[in-house]
Amino acid sequence: MSEPISYPELHDEPVYEFNEIDASLTYSYANYLNWLFEDRVELIKGKIFKMSPAASRVHQEVSRNIFNPLVNFLKKQNCKVYSAPFDVRFPKESKADAAIFTVLQPDICVICDKSKLDYRGCIGAPDVVIEILSPGNTKMELLHKYKVYEESGVKEYWVVSQSDQSILIYTLNDLGKFQPSKLFTLSEKVSSSVLPGFELLLDEVFHDLD
């Protein structure tokens, strides 16, 4: 029989320095709210991950070239689109702060169920998540996020590669598993099964990035 997990106690005083955090411990969203250090972090199943430094110029341009068409498309829809930094909490059984152990900041996300939105961000799986790969992304981080998005029921997960100028779309099937699309590259366009009618030209996503 495994030993019960001991979670760190909350303190009234905020934490200002990342090096004050013991990365070997398991943390909740309640802990996360007390962290006021400059480093941006995410929680994946209670473990803390420091995010990459501020997004590069190219990363920001690619993000904008995807975000703006989504904003225009969704103006007359019921869905909302948000870009990082924007906290998405993934509860398991309880929505209480101390019972949430995964908090991510997708580069772009679309939420169609407005009951999931509150003043802190989103609680529950977005319908669409878009992550733009950066040199600082690790394979372990990407694997953890893939699993979180799949297990939580994200309907569509886009992985955008700056270096390859490509997009791969994972769509959740009836068994709750991601199915990958073909790899979309320059001169092609992608569409969304979650957002019927939305199309994105890759030439416009990766236009004039030099």
**pLDDT higher than threshold 80 for residue 32:** yes
Question: Among 130, 43, 132, which residue's Cα sits nearest to residue 81?
Answer: 130
Question: Confidence class of residue 46 from pLDDT cuts 50, 70 and 90?
Answer: very high
**pLDDT mean over 28-40:** 89
pLDDT of residue 6: 41
**Per-residue three-class SS string for the chain:** CCCCCCCCCCCCCCECCHHHCCCCCCCCHHHHCCECCCCCEEEECCEEEECCCCCCHHHHHHHHHHHHHHHHHHHHCCCEEEECCCEEECCCCCCCHHHCCCEECCCEEEECCHHHEECCEEECCCCEEEEEECCCCCHHHHHHHHHHHHHHCCCEEEEEECCCCEEEEEEECCCCCEEECCCECCCCEEECCCCCCCEEEHHHHCCCCC
Residue 5 pLDDT level (bands cut at 50, 70, 90):
very low
Question: 130-151 pLDDT, tens per residue?
Answer: 999 977 676 777 899 999 999 9
Give 54's pLDDT tier (boundaries 50, 70, 90). low
User: Measuring CA to CA, how many Å separate 142 from each of 95, 118, 135, 161, 178?
Assistant: 25, 27, 12, 12, 14
- The β-bridge partners of 180 are 170
- Say whether pLDDT at 73 is over 90: yes
User: What was the pLDDT predicted at 10?
Assistant: 46
In the sheet with 41-44, reading across from the earlier edge strand, the strands are 47-50, 41-44, 103-104, 87-89, 121-123, 117-118
**Residue 12, pLDDT above cutoff 60:** no
**What structural domains does the chain harbor?**
57-205 (3.90.1570.10)
Query: With 90 as the cut, is the pLDDT of residue 4 above it?
Result: no
pLDDT band, very low/low/confident/very high, at 55 (cuts 50, 70, 90): low
> Does residue 52 register a pLDDT over 90?
no
Pick the range with the lowest mean pLDDT from 128-142, 148-162, 164-178.
128-142
Q: Mean pLDDT, the chain, as a whole number?
A: 89
Buried (b) or exposed (e) across 60-70, using 16+ Cβ within 10 A?
A: ebbbebbbebb
Q: Is the pLDDT of residue 8 over 60?
A: no
> How large is the average pLDDT for residues 29-50?
90
* Residue range 90-130, pLDDT digits in tens: 999 899 999 999 999 999 999 999 999 999 999 999 999 99
